[in-house]
Structure 1
Amino acid sequence: MPAPHRRAEMFGRQPLRERRFVTDALRTETVGGVLLLVSAVAAVVLANSDAAGWYESVKHHEIGPSTLGLHIDVADWAKDGLLTVFFFVAGIELKRELVTGELRDRRTAALPVVAALCGMAVPALVYLAVNVLAGGSPAGWAIPTATDIAFALTVLAVIGSSLPSALRAFLLTLAVADDLFAILIIAVFFTSDINLAALGLSVAGLVLFRLLHRAGVHGWYIYVPLALVIWTLMHESGVHPTVAGVAMGLMLRVTVDPGERESPAERIEHLVRPVSAGLAVPAFAFFAAGVSVGGKSLAGVFGNPEPLGVFLGLFLGKMAGILGGSWLTARFTRANLSEELQWADVAAVSMLSGIGFTVSLLISELAFEDDPALAVQTKAAVLTGSLAAALVACVLLKWRDHIYRELSVEENLDEDMSGIPDIYEQDDPEYHRRMIALYEAKLAEHRKWLETYPGGHDTDDTRHDE
């Protein structure tokens, strides 16, 4: 009789190596999220102050070589150029998840993938429903589909410091899957007329990039110029140039060979992630988030179907899609929610995923490129929808964080001071030997104390030996 299939545990405890990687990523993204917030606030303040004229002139100042078709304004350089670094890191994260992370196992991958798909489909349907009923434009359907990982992880790190690490990993994995589908949306639906010659040369450059990497060729002086050529050709081809960043990230090796302390992808990501989180994304936010937030603008968010669809998609659609997708996965597949968690935790993270900032602002510009006024309105909707989702998520996370505070202490306990949490060593014989030695040392210290202080010999040693 065949053995019954074991149900996969959703949000279970991560392997120690994966947990440490996620912790490092969270730390960098948290700092980047703070910088992102500062940049966004600065942009909004400037756009609504007497310095608005200066801000707009800097934003639309054109620089770059005309012969290569790159004489574009500063805002486009931030959107098409610097943001490619962000998508390069996203490509590395996706490759790592597919090879060594949560997405390598089809059973565990089903949850974040289904949750991400539902978390993008439902907001898009909400947007389309609002605009079909009110006679608005369907062009902005993709705006509320994206989650901003830097902002979301920053809120989670500040408010939910005691939440289980597996829940944080779920948010990171969900955001990686979300980024993948957002990239596909940009590549398929927001690509202009294709220049096949430039696209073919760009693909040839990617092939060369992959061959050099597989051959073990090292040197930034080789790969950086090659990456710039690939990006330029992709930009000229009509495909959004951020796709080049994702493609190069996916080509890096994420496995560790004998004799290596870390994979090439990890080493490069450690170098590039601070540039992405500390420069590329904040710079893009500074030039993209500068919209008017006066009473007239806010009234436009709720008075016009396009921005209203964006707001409702982020605030309601994201939570409904991710929570519903997770529940359906648990209901109709061999997956159980970890016994340590409740569906209220999933609901809190689902609401947090309604923070759609970086990619949502990018798609706003792409969707309404021919209608700048409507692009500004949808950007305002992205800001207000993300803020509303963040505030509600903060309340939910604070409530759940209080419940998990004691669990967090237990999960990080390292009583034998080995540098590895005890919970990961419970099945290790060496761990038990260390613990016995530790307790024997404590017992010997206690006996010495009894011999030193008056009256110590009067104490019943038998009880302490036990």
Structure 2
Amino acid sequence: MIAPRRAVAEFTRYLRTETTGGLILLAATAVALVWANSPLRGTYEALRDFRLGPEFLHLNLTVGDWAKDGLLALFFFVAGLELKRELVVGELSRVKQAILPVLAAAGGMLVPALVALTIGAGTPGMDRAWAIPVATDIAFALGVLALTASNLPSSARVFLLSLAVVDDLGAILIIAIVFTSGFDLIAAGVAVLALALYAFLQHKRVRTSWLYVPLALVTWVAVHSAGVHATIAGVLLGLLTRVRPDEGEDEAPAIRLEHRLQPWSAAVAVPMFALFAAGIAVNGDALAQVFTTALPLAVLFGLVGGKFVGILGASILAVKLRIAEKPRGMGWRDLSALALLGGVGFTVSLLIAELALPEETSELAKAAVLIGSAVASLGSAALLLRRSRAHAPVD
């Protein structure tokens, strides 16, 4: 019989795998779609729109908003920790290794935005909806890679992870700049002070959670009250966390926090967001509008075509100009499959759709995100399976 503590540790390790995170996210999406398109749709909407929390500091939010602004901040905190680790001690800390995924991510953001703006030119809402197809979903993309490409070199995962992290950083900056309204200077000042105190405590090697948890909550509330999207608080706190271990320290705080919180992010935060964001009406009329209306078509082609062309095109250009080198052991066919996989937008794309558009239009945009992400994941999975067989060791 497995001891309780060991069982919990094994479950936590299991939740840390990208495959599991992707499967839980997929299951939550399926539940949302079935629930929202069943006779129980009323209960779904009632739960999603139920308000709780005090009016003070604008915290009387719907359950859906708490998932979007609150729980998703945990996901972005973990992403911030991972980004800080990559920048300081990981793949992005060495210029030659970092330059290709950075340039690929830049191409994978610029081209989808241009594709979306071109297809949706003149359409109401495109002044903000162009940002929807710029993001790559870390959990889903790595989950597909883990399921289908076991024989690919480890450099494939490093390339995709680095690309997705830089991609998400760009999307976070877009959220902070484009989707900030009603800026409150006093709340922003409180947020800056809380962040400065967090950085000071990290510098002084303070480790107690009794200080950090309340400080993180204060930071989140202050950022939310300032009018900036509250998930930015998670990223900033992650980037301020120490990633180098001191002498005699087994793990740096960033690594320790990432190990503790990533399972909660994968099993609770992201699936709960998906549960309340992906519950859109899927019927003949809705699907017809996705394929006949300019805005959702712009999102769809931006994700599937724009991401592929942008990531692969930027990679080819960087290698041909000798600015960067291909990842070790990988060929252009491998990179093509990964470029298509970059079109899995999902979490951040759904978030931007909710922030950018009114509810009726955002439903169409979110449907386009789901369809585009499904096409990109299935297409890349087929390519990755072929490439995995090509890389399989010969007996």
Taking the aligned partners of 2:53 and 2:238, their CA distance within structure 1 comes to: 26
Choose which of 360, 367, 382 in structure 2 pairs with 1:373.
360
Aligned residue for 1:383?
A: 370
Which amino acid in 2 is paired with 1:279? V
Aligned residue for 2:84?
A: 95
Taking the aligned partners of 2:40 and 2:234, their CA distance within structure 1 comes to: 34
CA displacement at 1:26 relative to structure 2: 9.7
1:392 aligns with 2:379: yes
Taking the aligned partners of 1:339 and 1:219, their CA distance within structure 2 comes to: 41
Taking the aligned partners of 1:158 and 1:93, their CA distance within structure 2 comes to: 22
1:78 aligns with 2:67: yes
The structure-2 alpha-carbon separation of the partners of 1:134 and 1:187, relative to structure 1 and needing over 3 Å to count, comes to closer
Does structure 2 conserve the Cα–Cα contact (< 8 Å) formed by 1:131 and 1:138?
Answer: no
Taking the aligned partners of 1:272 and 1:390, their CA distance within structure 2 comes to: 26
Choose which of 23, 37, 40 in structure 2 pairs with 1:51.
40
- Deviating above 4 A after TM superposition, structure 1's stretches of 4 or more consecutive aligned residues are 24-27, 133-136
Does structure 2 conserve the Cα–Cα contact (< 8 Å) formed by 1:116 and 1:178?
Answer: yes
1:185 aligns with 2:178: no
The 3-state SS of whatever aligns with 2:325 is: strand
CA displacement at 1:231 relative to structure 2: 0.4
The 3-state SS of whatever aligns with 1:284 is: helix
Aligned residue for 2:291?
A: 302
Output aligned runs, 1:302-451, within 5 Å.
302-338=291-327, 340-368=329-357, 371-406=358-393
Choose which of 148, 155, 173 in structure 2 pairs with 1:166.
155
The structure-2 alpha-carbon separation of the partners of 1:136 and 1:278, relative to structure 1 and needing over 3 Å to count, comes to closer
CA displacement at 1:165 relative to structure 2: 0.9
CA displacement at 1:335 relative to structure 2: 3.0
Taking the aligned partners of 1:338 and 1:154, their CA distance within structure 2 comes to: 20
Which amino acid in 1 is paired with 2:389? H
CA displacement at 1:255 relative to structure 2: 1.2
1:252 aligns with 2:241: yes
Taking the aligned partners of 2:340 and 2:323, their CA distance within structure 1 comes to: 25
CA displacement at 1:257 relative to structure 2: 2.0
CA displacement at 1:27 relative to structure 2: 4.7
Aligned residue for 2:128?
A: 139
Which amino acid in 2 is paired with 1:388? V
The structure-2 alpha-carbon separation of the partners of 1:142 and 1:400, relative to structure 1 and needing over 3 Å to count, comes to same
CA displacement at 1:391 relative to structure 2: 1.2
The structure-2 alpha-carbon separation of the partners of 1:179 and 1:25, relative to structure 1 and needing over 3 Å to count, comes to farther
Does structure 2 conserve the Cα–Cα contact (< 8 Å) formed by 1:113 and 1:174?
Answer: yes
The 3-state SS of whatever aligns with 2:56 is: coil
Taking the aligned partners of 2:88 and 2:332, their CA distance within structure 1 comes to: 28
Does structure 1 conserve the Cα–Cα contact (< 8 Å) formed by 2:308 and 2:340?
Answer: yes
Query: TM-score, normalization: structure 1?
Result: 0.80
Taking the aligned partners of 2:261 and 2:328, their CA distance within structure 1 comes to: 37
Does structure 2 conserve the Cα–Cα contact (< 8 Å) formed by 1:206 and 1:248?
Answer: yes
Aligned residue for 1:126?
A: 115
The 3-state SS of whatever aligns with 2:116 is: helix
Taking the aligned partners of 1:53 and 1:321, their CA distance within structure 2 comes to: 41
The structure-2 alpha-carbon separation of the partners of 1:54 and 1:318, relative to structure 1 and needing over 3 Å to count, comes to same
Taking the aligned partners of 1:267 and 1:331, their CA distance within structure 2 comes to: 40
CA displacement at 1:112 relative to structure 2: 1.0
Does structure 2 conserve the Cα–Cα contact (< 8 Å) formed by 1:135 and 1:305?
Answer: no
The structure-2 alpha-carbon separation of the partners of 1:358 and 1:48, relative to structure 1 and needing over 3 Å to count, comes to same
Most deviating of 327-336 and 117-126: 327-336
Taking the aligned partners of 1:272 and 1:385, their CA distance within structure 2 comes to: 29
1:197 aligns with 2:186: yes
> Alignment length, in residue pairs?
383
Output aligned runs, 1:208-287, within 5 Å.
208-287=197-276
Greater length-normalized contact order (CA 8 Å, ≥ 6 residues apart): 2
Which amino acid in 1 is paired with 2:133? P
Does structure 2 conserve the Cα–Cα contact (< 8 Å) formed by 1:136 and 1:305?
Answer: no
Does structure 2 conserve the Cα–Cα contact (< 8 Å) formed by 1:28 and 1:277?
Answer: no
The structure-2 alpha-carbon separation of the partners of 1:134 and 1:403, relative to structure 1 and needing over 3 Å to count, comes to same
Q: Which segments of 5 or more consecutive residues in structure 2 lack a partner in the other structure?
A: 1-12
CA displacement at 1:75 relative to structure 2: 0.2
The structure-2 alpha-carbon separation of the partners of 1:135 and 1:235, relative to structure 1 and needing over 3 Å to count, comes to closer
Does structure 2 conserve the Cα–Cα contact (< 8 Å) formed by 1:61 and 1:73?
Answer: yes
CA displacement at 1:213 relative to structure 2: 1.3
Which amino acid in 2 is paired with 1:216? R
Does structure 1 conserve the Cα–Cα contact (< 8 Å) formed by 2:123 and 2:295?
Answer: no
Q: Which segments of 5 or more consecutive residues in structure 1 lack a partner in the other structure?
A: 1-23, 410-466
Percent same amino acid at aligned positions? Answer: 51
Rg larger for: 1
Q: Which whole-Å deviations, capped at 9, do the CAs of 1:130-159 have from their partners, x for residues lacking one?
A: 011767733200000001111111111111
CA displacement at 1:55 relative to structure 2: 0.2
Most deviating of 195-204 and 103-112: 103-112
Taking the aligned partners of 2:329 and 2:226, their CA distance within structure 1 comes to: 50
CA displacement at 1:64 relative to structure 2: 0.5
CA displacement at 1:219 relative to structure 2: 1.3
Taking the aligned partners of 2:65 and 2:53, their CA distance within structure 1 comes to: 11
Taking the aligned partners of 2:224 and 2:391, their CA distance within structure 1 comes to: 47
Choose which of 141, 144, 162 in structure 2 pairs with 1:155.
144
